[in-house]
């Protein structure tokens, strides 16, 4: 569990973490195309293999599309998180001024700026939660796809048994796909943890604001 990382670092790391997933999904797609070529050569011996490869190929392409969406949103989330951090820093500094210069002749002239800043901060929090929710949904979608893919890979192993001399090649490809699924699942889990950690920090900050 990642807990010590600053929220804006966590949100930025999600983009980097999931960039790797895009690469793994691409590799998965290539493995599947190899499997398809072998299955074609094997003909009737690997009859059951072709629909499985079609399915996984489609899924890897969808995963890449999801990763592209996540990349865009996580970069936007990171931009908002950094903006929120800057606004929070400004709010803290302005609050310090209102405490240390409470006797200053013109202290009330700062009120409008402070209120505007707090309003901006609130708006950034709303945006943060909205993007974080959207990202979590996209990540959940990838995780579900990977769970389905793992089941399909098990089926492909059964089909590979009937492929005689092509068996070892198809099993090796099934291993590659399984390993790719595991990598994607791990990366997505780690990204979700990072995002949860960031959300907790933002919640804490919102709490401090309202206190």
Partner 1 sequence: MKATNIYDQRHQWIVFGRDPEKPDGIIDTNQYLIRVDDRALLLDPGGIEIFSSMLSAVLHHVSVDQITDLFASHQDPDIISSLGLWDQALPNGRLHAPWIWEGFIRHFGLNNIQYEPIPDEGGEIHLGSVKLNMVPAHYLHSSGNFHVYDPAAKILMSGDVGAALEPPGADMFVDDFDEHINKMKMFHQRWMPSNRAKNDWVNRVRDLDIEILAPQHGRLFKGENVGRFLDWFEALEVGTAIA
**Residues in contact with partner 1 by the rule CB under 8 A:** 86-87, 90, 93-94, 96-97, 100-101, 104-107, 109-110, 113, 116-117
For the CB of residue 182, give the shortest distance to partner 1 in the complex, in Å.
Answer: 42
The 3-state DSSP class for residue 177 equals helix
Quick one: 95 or 143, whose CB is closer to partner 1?
95
The CA-atom distances, in angstroms, between 176 and each of 42, 57, 117 are: 19, 13, 52
Phi, psi (deg, nearest 5) at residue 160: -65, -30
Quick one: 13 or 121, whose CB is closer to partner 1?
121
Quick one: 40 or 113, whose CB is closer to partner 1?
113
CA distance linking residue 161 with residue 45, whole number of Å: 9
Here the tokens at position 78 are 């990171």
For the CB of residue 209, give the shortest distance to partner 1 in the complex, in Å.
Answer: 16
Quick one: 101 or 158, whose CB is closer to partner 1?
101
CA distance linking residue 178 with residue 181, whole number of Å: 5
Neighbour count for residue 118 (Cβ, 10 Å)? 15
For the CB of residue 9, give the shortest distance to partner 1 in the complex, in Å.
Answer: 19
For the CB of residue 98, give the shortest distance to partner 1 in the complex, in Å.
Answer: 9
């Amino acid at each position: 569990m990642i807990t010590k990382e600053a929220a804006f670092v966590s949100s930025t790391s999600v983009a980097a973490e999931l960039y790797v997933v895009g690469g793994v999904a691409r590799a998965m797609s290539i493995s599947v195309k190899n499997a398809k070529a072998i299955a074609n050569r094997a003909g009737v011996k690997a009859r059951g293999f072709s629909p499985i490869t079609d399915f996984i190929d489609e899924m890897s392409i969808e995963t890449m599309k999801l990763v592209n969406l996540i990349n865009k949103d996580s970069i936007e989330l990171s931009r908002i998180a950094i903006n929120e951090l800057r606004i929070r820093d400004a709010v803290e500094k302005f609050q310090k001024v209102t405490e240390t210069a409470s006797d200053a002749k013109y202290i009330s002239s700062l009120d409008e700026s402070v209120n505007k800043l707090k309003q901006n901060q609130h708006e950034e929090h709303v945006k943060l939660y909205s993007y974080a929710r959207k990202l979590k949904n996209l990540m959940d979608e990838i995780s579900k796809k990977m769970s389905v893919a793992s089941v399909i890979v098990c089926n492909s192993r059964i089909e590979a048994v009937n492929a005689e001399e092509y068996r070892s090649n198809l099993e090796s490809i099934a291993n590659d796909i399984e390993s790719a699924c595991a990598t994607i699942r791990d990366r997505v889990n780690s990204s979700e943890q990072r995002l949860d950690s960031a959300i907790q920090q933002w919640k804490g900050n919102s709490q401090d604001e309202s206190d």
